[in-house]
Chains A and B, each alone.
Chain A
Amino acid sequence: MIDLDFGAVLAQWPLLLKGVAFTAGLTLVSAVVGVALGVACAWARAWGPRALAWGVAAYVELIRNTPFIVQLFFIFFGLPGLGLRLSPEAASVLAMVINLGAYAAEIVRAGVESTPRGQVEAGVSLALSRAQVFLHVVLPPALARVWPALVSQIVIVMLGSAVCGQIATQELSYFANLIQSRNFRAFESYIVATLLYLALAVALRRLLNWAGPRWLFGR
């Protein structure tokens, strides 16, 4: 008979709570900066000078075709070889921002490119600068169109952040590891952490679906 003891894991609730809070914070910061980076890259690819567009395309392909854990290890273990030594937290945020930026760039670009030409021309004819046209005419409806895809991607990045515990960033999976190393209840500990991730994913999706229309692209 299997003998499960969830009590031993749940007794460590302050650690679990700390982990949930850290994962949420990590995701929030990366989501804001990552989406901003994605928008900048989408602008560069759709409207920017040719050389910049090529550079962004290379960045996007490179990130989308390599695993997140390798990107994280490269930043945390590899970059000190170039003299850039980052704390685990900084390396985690940087890796998540770079990762999300590449995916968001493709998603936002799809929205930007589906903008009817007439809207851009209408903006220009009102004597708006190119930057103003992009920010006020093209971007808000483009974001509204691709928001569901963007939300899914942010959730994927949040779930991916479980790997950050491997470089000793103190997020949820790190504490799940710590708890099981103390009481040897590995399975129970990971079940609890997994359910907490599931709850975080559902909550994050709800939050973003509510916050996007309210603050990002009106109505």
Chain B
Amino acid sequence: MVDFTLWDIVRNLLLAARWTVALSLIAFVGGGLVGLLLLVARVGRWPGAAGLVAGYVQLFQGTPLLMQLFLAYFGLPLLGVQISPWTAAALALTLYASAFLTEIWRGCVEAIPKGQWEAAQSLALSFGEQMRHVIGPQALRIAVAPTVGFLVQVVKGTALASVIGFIELTKAGTMIANATFAPFTVYACVALMYFLLCFPISAWSRRLERRLSLGR
């Protein structure tokens, strides 16, 4: 019987944590890009777009992320696309993040007083110019704190990718627990690592929020 030291466990978990970080970044950046497109579609005055985006948001916020992962993993092969757990997880988490981010940002855009839109219009700015020079910068200021806060949710969401077989922190924890017969230690270490990843981001988001409320 092989003996595992605590360092063996921690070292292997740290190696797997790289994938948690990578998947989080992909989902966050990809979700941000898709979310931005959805936001433009929603606040731009295209007929029907607002309702469609609202339905999209409702769909992702009203169903479990786990089911979304399963659907990406089992659904795409039906279309003839061979898909790895890695791609399925990245895709599902990106769409999930885009729905939440677009909803957060919509709130920020709607918080900008109507007068600002009207002032920009009266200067004969086009919709793109209004967004870029008048509404965007102001909305961005209030959007930073909740967006950073949502990053925590993305990091925690990546833990579910373990269920479709993507080897990140949680899946590695399960595998190591099965090999070492020390589930208590292993899962405690896994939880601690998530905490070390997420707590600084939460604290940062809170600080941003406080600074914003002081600035008013």
Could you tell me which A residues sit within 8 Å of B by CB distance? Answer: 2, 4, 61-62, 64-71, 73-74, 77-82, 155, 159-163, 166, 173, 176, 180, 186-187, 190-191, 193-194, 197-198, 201-202
In the bound assembly, the distance between CA atoms of A129 and B40 in angstroms comes to 54
Measured between beta carbons, the chain B residues less than 8 angstroms from A180 are 74
Interface size on B, residues (CB 8 A): 39
Measured between beta carbons, the chain A residues less than 8 angstroms from B188 are 74, 78
Q: Which residue of B70, B170, B182 contacts A70 across the interface (Cβ within 8 Å)?
A: B170
Measured between beta carbons, the chain B residues less than 8 angstroms from A163 are 64, 66, 160, 163
Question: Is the CB–CB distance between A198 and B63 below 8 Å?
Answer: yes
Question: Is the CB–CB distance between A64 and B202 below 8 Å?
Answer: yes
Stretch of B31-39, B104-112, B125-133, B190-198 at the chain-chain interface: B190-198
Question: Is the CB–CB distance between B199 and A187 below 8 Å?
Answer: no
Question: Is the CB–CB distance between B156 and A162 below 8 Å?
Answer: no
Most chain A CB inside 10 Å of its own CB: which residue of B152, B186, B187, B188 = B187
**Distance (whole angstroms) from the CB of A65 to the closest CB of chain B:** 4
Question: Is the CB–CB distance between A162 and B71 below 8 Å?
Answer: no
Q: Which residue of A66, A190, A191 contacts B156 across the interface (Cβ within 8 Å)?
A: A66
Question: Is the CB–CB distance between B183 and A78 below 8 Å?
Answer: yes
Question: Is the CB–CB distance between A187 and B71 below 8 Å?
Answer: yes
Measured between beta carbons, the chain A residues less than 8 angstroms from B59 are 198
B79 to A, closest residue via Cβ: A2
Question: Is the CB–CB distance between B67 and A193 below 8 Å?
Answer: yes
* B166-183 interface code vs A (CB 8 A; 1 in, 0 out): 000010011001000011
A197-B194 contact in complex given A65-B152, A78-B184, C-beta closer than 8 Å? no
Question: Is the CB–CB distance between A61 and B184 below 8 Å?
Answer: no
**Distance (whole angstroms) from the CB of A181 to the closest CB of chain B:** 12
Within 8 A of A (CB), among B58-73: 59, 62-68, 70-71
Measured between beta carbons, the chain A residues less than 8 angstroms from B173 are 70, 73
In the bound assembly, the distance between CA atoms of A173 and B66 in angstroms comes to 9
22 A–B pairs (Cβ distance < 8 Å), ordered by A: A66-B191, A67-B170, A67-B194, A69-B162, A70-B159, A70-B170, A73-B173, A73-B190, A74-B184, A74-B187, A161-B64, A176-B67, A186-B70, A190-B67, A190-B71, A190-B74, A190-B75, A191-B71, A194-B68, A194-B71, A197-B63, A198-B63
